[in-house]
Structures are given as C-alpha cells and as structure tokens.
Amino acid sequence: MARPFTLFTGQWADLPLEEVCRLARDFGYDGLELACWGDHFEVDRALAEPGYLATRGRLLDKYGLKCWAVSNHLVGQAVCDAIIDERHHAILPARVWGDGEPEGVRRRAAAEMADTARAAAAFGARTVVGFTGSAIWHLVAMFPPVAPSTIEAGYTDFAERWGPVLDAFDAEGVRFAHEVHPGEIAYDYWTTRRALEAVGDRPAFGLNFDPSHFVWQDLDPVGFLYDFRDRIYHVDCKEARRRLDGRNGRLGSHLPWGDPRRGWDFVSAGHGEVPWEDVFRMLRSIGYEGPVSVEWEDPGMDRLQGAPEALAHLKAYDYEPPAAAFDAAFGADPSGG
C-alpha cells in the first residue's frame, strides 16, 4: 500500500487553514502536517477551548485530509538557544516571549513544547516535529578555542531542558521528531549520535529526516537513514542545490536566500541534489510506513507550482514492493512435479 503524502503548512501560514486544505486537496495530497503558527494549530486554544480541536478535524474531513503530525519548530528553537534576541521575538507567540528575559523565554518555550504533546495527543496526532535549539551552535567554528567541557555542557543543558518535556511526551504516548538541521543540538551524523546519547536513547526522542540539510554539508542521507533506522519518526521532503564555484561559500556568506552569490540554496523537491530513488528504496527497506511530507522552500519558484510538482515527482519513487522475489520462478518446476 502506498504511503500517505502530506503538505507541511509552515510556509503557508499566511493563509487560513481552510484555504490550505482546499489547495492541498486540489493538489492531490492525502493530508497536512500542521504547523503550530498562523491559525493552523494553536496549542493554547487546543488545550483551553472546548471544541477547538473538533473544528480543526471538521476542516480536514471536509476536504478529505488527515493529520499524522503537528510541527512546532519555532517554539522548540527557543528551549536551548544560548542567545535569545529579536529573532526569537519575531517567531514566538507573545505568551512565550513574555518580557524577553532569556531564561524565562527558555522555560516558557519548554512548557509550550510539553503542551504541544498534550494538544497533539488530544487531536490524535502521535508525532510532533520540531527543533531543539542549542546552547553551543554559535561555537561551531571552534574559535576562539572551545574546551571539550564546554561542548559537553551544551549536551547536558539539552538533556536537562528537554528531559521534562520528553516526560510529557511519554505521558501522552506521543513522539518528538527532531529535525537534524544546522542551528540545532543535532545537525549532522555525529551530533545526532551525541544528542541521542545525551537523553539516554529514550524512545520519546527521535528524528525528522529532511535530506536537504545533508546535501550542502556533504553528508550521505541514505546511509543516515539506515544507521538511524529505528529513530526515523517522520520524513520531510525538500531539496538543496550547491553552487560552490570557488567564490560562493558553503556557509552562505550572510547573503539572503536566492542570492546567486550563495554557495547553496533550498529548492523545491525535484530540482536539487537529493537522490530520491535511493531515499525511497531505503525508507522501504527500513520499514518506515509513516507519512512523507512535502516542505516547499524555494526562493526561485512559486509555491503554487512547487507544491503539486513536488508531490508528483516524489510519488513516482514510492514503488509498491513486489509480491514475490524476482528470482522466485527460476527454480520452479513448470510441470508442477
């Protein structure tokens, strides 16, 4: 049976949820990965207003859509970040930002992520996708020199802040799928290993696989899937393409998305360097049966073109497994004897 394909609504949060539902249905999607911003999935209302979740459910039903996961990247980012500033003010709900005092922001963000687990469970979504933030990402260049104890303290900070959040996830029977992404506690292969170890490999903490972040770091997305096969809780699909021509740098040079002087950019699925056929074959091999969510991010393509085009491109790789091994007939006796 073909897996469900969903549209991540994070880049569509300027539109009312009903409009996104209509578009997703018309594009041919099976459901939505609901973002916890805009009016798409509001955590505070989900827990405080009787009937709120029912209104979300009725909208999905009206357009023949389902929801397997909600996403709260923006609030999750503030749980561990060492530097809390105007960037966070721009993306956080006012109730989480408060007076902007950094430690207060971190604590309120952690409480909101625990509430996200409760709201997701009440809605029937068993996965929350998001970011963790990081107390040590700003040290990635390792200069001025960084002591190993400082890095270790960053993973300890992550475990201490996220431990109570994951307790709430456990209590609700919901899993957190951390998106491996620069800027987070786990951003590549080895930091993912270390983050999992920091929380004692507890099952509540897993991974959202988005191969676009692997491309520009020269990481192998297919090998990552295999090695972390028991922790792939969700899959997001977007791409990146590189323009490393001797002048354009891998770190982006503080240039905006779409600037031709950047060394890489996000692009819509089907227009980058992700080996999608190998990715889908590996997803089948490791037994991943969850949704595949299209995340449109492309500074050079309109989303109304990118979202349906990406869906058609990715579905072409979602093969049905064979009913029997291709060589099963080689030893068969055609006479039946």
- pLDDT band at 332, cuts 50/70/90? low
Average of per-residue pLDDT across 16-36: 98
pLDDT above 90: residue 319: no
Give the residue from 273, 269, 128 showing the smallest Cα distance to 207: 128
Number of Cβ within a 10 Å radius of residue 231: 17
Q: Residue range 47-62: average pLDDT? A: 98
Percent of the chain with pLDDT over 90: 93
CA-based max dimension of the chain: 82
Tell the burial category of 14 from Cβ atoms under 10 Å away from its Cβ (0-12, 13-18, 19+).
exposed
Residues 6 or more apart in contact with residue 81 via CB below 8 angstroms: 88, 106, 133, 134, 135, 137
**Dihedral sign, Cα of residue 57, residue 61, residue 62, residue 68:** positive
- Determine contact, residues 75/111, Cβ cutoff 8 Å: no
Cα–Cα nearest to 138, from 195, 194, 217, 82: 82
Q: Average pLDDT for residues 296-303, to the nearest whole number?
A: 97
Q: What is the mean pLDDT of residues 186-194?
A: 98
What residue ranges do the domains of the chain occupy?
Answer: 5-318
Instruction: For residues 265 and 258, give the distance between their C-alpha atoms in angstroms, rounded to a whole number.
Output: 7
What's the pLDDT at 163? 98
Mean pLDDT across 218-231? 98
* Pair 48, 84: CB distance under 8 Å: no
pLDDT at 320 (0 to 100): 83
Quote the pTM value. 0.96
Nearest in space to 1 (alpha carbons), one of 311, 245, 243, 290: 290
Find the mean pLDDT for residues 201-218.
98
- Assigned fold of 5-318: TIM Barrel (3.20.20)
Please, what is the average pLDDT of the chain? 96
DSSP state of 155: H
Which residue type sits at 168? A
Q: Read off the pLDDT band of 204 (50, 70, 90).
A: very high
pLDDT at 335: 65
What would the mean pLDDT of 121-129 be, rounded to a whole number? 98
Please tell me the distance from the alpha carbon of residue 59 to that of residue 66, in angstroms, as a whole number: 10
Confidence of residue 337 (pLDDT cuts 50, 70, 90): low
Tokens 């959202």 locate to 208
Amino acid at 146: V
Distance of alpha carbon 33 from alpha carbon 114, whole angstroms = 18
- At residue 262, the pLDDT reads 97
Question: Residue 280 pLDDT more than 80?
Answer: yes
Please give the structure tokens belonging to residue 44. Answer: 């505070």
Say whether pLDDT at 326 is over 90: no
> Which percentage of the chain shows pLDDT scores above 70?
97
Per-residue pLDDT tens digits for 91-100 = 999 999 999 9
